[in-house]
Amino acid sequence: MDINLKDLEKASLVFLQDILYLEQGQSLLIYRDEASDEVTAHALQNCAKEIAVQAELIQLHDFSKLTDRIKALTEEIENRNYDAICELSAQYFYPTIVWKKAVEKGCKVYSLGAIDAASFIRCIGEVDQKKLYEFGLSLKNILEKARRVQIRSKSGTNLACKMNSTSFAAKIFSKIKLVGRSKVWSPSGILKEHASTTFMGGQVAFLGVPNTIEGTAIIDGYLWPPNEIGLIENPIVLKIGKGQVVSIDGDNPKSKILSKWLDGKEKCIEHFCVGYNPGARLSGNIVEAERAFGHIVIGVGKYPFHTDGIIKHPELIVDDTVIIQNNSFVHDSLQVPSNNLCRSFHET
């Protein structure tokens, strides 16, 4: 795919200055692996030089084992004083000592995953990150007040779970009647003033009370890992009971690949994520695909055997109110046209 290099440069400057808040004299660490895009990495490195930010690039494919990659990154962070880190690798390092060590040293970490240049332009450069974050806060507010969430789709998804409303009465009731608590995370995409970590913007994650998550999830958009799956033509069917995947079905080889990959591993539901980045598409990488506007992700299993599967064209119902329908947000507080979340990127 042809990339407009001027657009890539603009997107890189947006990322470095408006998202990472880097200034002259500061330093940036970028790391990428064999699955990520070299063009994006070098564009960021070159643009950093233009604004007098020192940027180092680590090629993780120089290390064959995950343990060696973790060691190399940890040593680099311990021995240098970076102001920010950009993760451009398919392999996430948030559950490892890498991110922990970075935060301890006062470094901000922003994960873009294995994003390619075209996706980087669409999802970062062409999107107003502040408006995107505010949209996410409105969605988070709805989910935090919920008592019950349903996810349905025309392809057969039918899931339901209970939520612990933020009201005092609901909290007391949950302690008496339910095992575990629900959770709603803050929107991704915005770094705090001091050391913090985040992923690309355009997603809010939540988890229902674990032992109340029941039903069927039809994964028909994208699933990763393992690498052999990716885009899905024939759905993978997950049967879920009490917050656990009890069977992996579907008349296609990819269902068998997933079943084998998770065989003997924990298959708990770790999260659901709602995507709302107007630039995101169901493309060939998970970081973009799981932020596709109006789609829902289900996360299964514990790291490193954790996978994310995308449910296309979902209907999201919170209590008795429809939130998403036909890939549109129809709740009163969320009826913002997707193009209103974009910036005037091509005018300059």
Using the predicted structure, report yes or no on whether residue 12 has a pLDDT greater than 90: yes
Decide the pairing of beta strands 296-300 and 214-219: unpaired
Say which residue, 195 or 122, is predicted with more confidence. 122
For 61-91, letters b (16+ CB in 10 Å) and e give eebeeeeebbebbbebbeeeebbbbbbbbbb
Region 174-179: mean pLDDT is 52
The predicted structure's pLDDT at residue 303: 86
Rounded CA separation 335/21 (Å): 30
Rounded CA separation 222/312 (Å): 9
Using the predicted structure, report yes or no on whether residue 88 has a pLDDT greater than 90: yes
The predicted structure's pLDDT at residue 341: 74
The predicted structure's pLDDT at residue 348: 35
Rounded CA separation 317/149 (Å): 6
Q: Rounded to whole angstroms, what are the CA distances from 74 to 21, 98, 311? A: 23, 5, 35
Using the predicted structure, report yes or no on whether residue 178 has a pLDDT greater than 90: no
And the tokens for 129? 């990150």
- pLDDT tens digits, one per residue of 247-289: 999 888 999 999 999 999 999 999 999 999 999 998 778 889 9
Q: How far is CA 246 from the centre of its chain?
A: 25
Q: What predicted TM-score, i.e. pTM, was given to this entire model? A: 0.88
Q: Structural domains in the chain?
A: 5-125 (3.40.50.2300), 129-186+202-341 (no CATH)
And the tokens for 202? 């355009």
